Every structure is written in C-alpha cells, then in structure tokens.
Amino acid sequence: MSLKKYATAQERKIATALVERLLGAGYQVGVHDGGEVTITATADKETVLDALATTDMDTLRVFKDGRRVGGVLLIWGNGEDLISDYTHVEELCSLLDNWEVA
C-alpha cells in the first residue's frame, strides 16, 4: 500500500477520514493519479486507500447515483494541507467546508 509507505502519518489520517466521510455520506469514489484513472467509482474504502499516494498528487473523483458530482485534489507532501482543493458544489461544500479531522 503506497499510502502507508509514502504518506506521512498526518496525511494518512486525513486521507482515511476524508474517504470515510465521503463513503459514509453515500458517495462512491474513484482515483485519478495525475496520469490515469486508477480506480473507477467504488464504495470500498480499502480499494480507494490502496490506490492513493502512488504519485505526488491524486484527485478523488466523487460520484453519486452514477453521476460525477466533483473532485477533491490531494497533494502529497503538504501535510495538514493535503486537501488542496475541491469542486465547490453544494454537495461537497456541505461535507468539506470547515471540516476538521479529529
């Protein structure tokens, strides 16, 4: 698993909490590693986490009911600023605005 090998403990905590939050809200998540889609939409947490941190950035592609609702840009090496950007649509903003990992 690249996440355990290349991400810091803080980044692993944030990425895991983010994926859990998205999946818990009923979304499916895909992963684009900056070069290719490595995971299509899935609701399996371990599949998503296993695909992360293989390059210096990942985009989590967020889907609901078969349609893409947005994305979350992760930049590895940014520590607590791992979540660098996300699509500003109501669905994602309601989950991610002012959200902090415990």
Residue at 26 is within a domain: yes
Provide the domain limits for residue 18.
2-96
User: For the chain, how far is it from start to end, CA to CA, in angstroms?
Assistant: 23
Is the distance from CB of 29 to CB of 48 less than 8 angstroms? yes
Residue at 102 is within a domain: no
Please tell me the predicted confidence (pLDDT) of residue 101. 85
- What's the CA gap between 88 and 71, in Å, rounded? 9
Task: Read off the pLDDT of residues 52-95 as tens digits, 9 standing for 90 and up.
Answer: 999 999 999 999 999 999 999 999 999 999 999 999 999 899 98
Task: Read off the pLDDT of residues 8-55 as tens digits, 9 standing for 90 and up.
Answer: 999 999 999 999 999 999 999 999 999 999 999 999 999 999 999 999
Please tell me the predicted confidence (pLDDT) of residue 77. 94
Question: Global pTM?
Answer: 0.94
| Structure tokens belonging to residue 33 | 């590693």
Residue at 33 is within a domain: yes
| Structure tokens belonging to residue 84 | 């660098």
Number of domains in the chain: 1
Residue at 32 is within a domain: yes
Residue at 41 is within a domain: yes
Residue type, 98: N
